[in-house]
Amino acid sequence: MNMDRIEKQVLLRAPRAKVWRALADSQAFGQWFGVKLKGQFAPGARIPGQVLHKGYEQCLFEITIERMEPERLLSWRWHPHAIDPKIDYSAEPTTLVVFELKEVAEGTLLTVVESGFEDIPMARRGEAYRGNEQGWAIQMGAIEKYVGQADETTGAAS
């Protein structure tokens, strides 16, 4: 079993340019990810954000953009699921999230890899576990509604 990385692949029936916008435009990204971000994505940029879900507003959310290769690759670092506002996660190692886009006949093949979990303190994983158990399902339900509305309004622009 691999305890260091999570890898996902999804086929999106949308052109690569549109998928790239949903990933690389911080406002669009925030809409499906469920966070209000300050600032635009650029390599090296530290983007703070506000988690939108009720009960999680106090959580510090920040991603640090690493690489941006238009319509091909976006990567950032963050503290995975840093949900306890009383804990200062800043001294801990981060995980690296990499999105890769590939044009295929049906649309865009997106690969997401989050790696570096083996450097995260074990106790911290316990925290992540607890947070996930209690809140994520509810949070995702809220995001689904929010994105459903946002999709209608942004759909016309693309």
Partner 1 sequence: MSAKRMRPRAQRPKSTRRQLEKTASIFAALGDENRLRLVARLSADGPLSIARLTEGGSVTRQAVTKHLQVLANVGLACNSRLGRESVWELEPEPFDAARHCLDSISAQWDAALDRLKAFVEP
With contacts defined by CB under 8 A, name the span among 45-53, 59-67, 68-76, 124-132 that binds partner 1. 124-132
> Do the Cβ atoms of 146 and 31 come closer than 8 Å?
yes
For residues 55 and 121, which CB has a smaller minimum distance to partner 1 in the complex? Answer: 121
Q: How far apart are CA 142 and CA 34, in angstroms?
A: 8
- Residue of the chain from 3, 91, 156, 157 that contacts partner 1 (CB under 8 A): 3
- Confirm or reject binding of residue 126 to partner 1 (CB under 8 A): yes
The candidate with the shortest Cα–Cα distance to 7, out of 95, 138, 69, is 95
CB of 141 to partner 1, least distance (A): 10
- For partner 1, the closer of residues 96 and 147 by Cβ is 147
| Strand ranges of the sheet holding 46-51, from the earlier edge strand across to the other edge | 5-12, 107-115, 95-104, 73-78, 60-69, 46-51, 35-37
Q: Binding string, 54-73, against partner 1, x = CB under 8 A? A: --------------------
Q: What does the alpha-carbon distance between residue 53 and residue 35 come to, in Å, rounded to a whole number?
A: 8
Is 93 in contact with 116 (CB distance < 8 Å)?
yes
Using the 8-state DSSP alphabet, how is residue 118 labeled? G
For residue 53, state whether it binds partner 1 (rule: CB under 8 A): no
The rounded distance, in Å, linking the Cα atoms of 158 and 123 is: 44
Q: Which of 44, 54, 153, 155 binds partner 1 (CB under 8 A)?
A: 155
**Partners of 109 in the beta sheet?**
11, 102
What residue ranges bind partner 1 (CB under 8 A)? 1, 3, 6, 8, 10, 12-14, 18-19, 22-23, 28, 31-34, 80-81, 110, 112, 114, 117, 121-123, 125-126, 128-130, 132-133, 136, 140, 143-144, 147-148, 150-151, 155
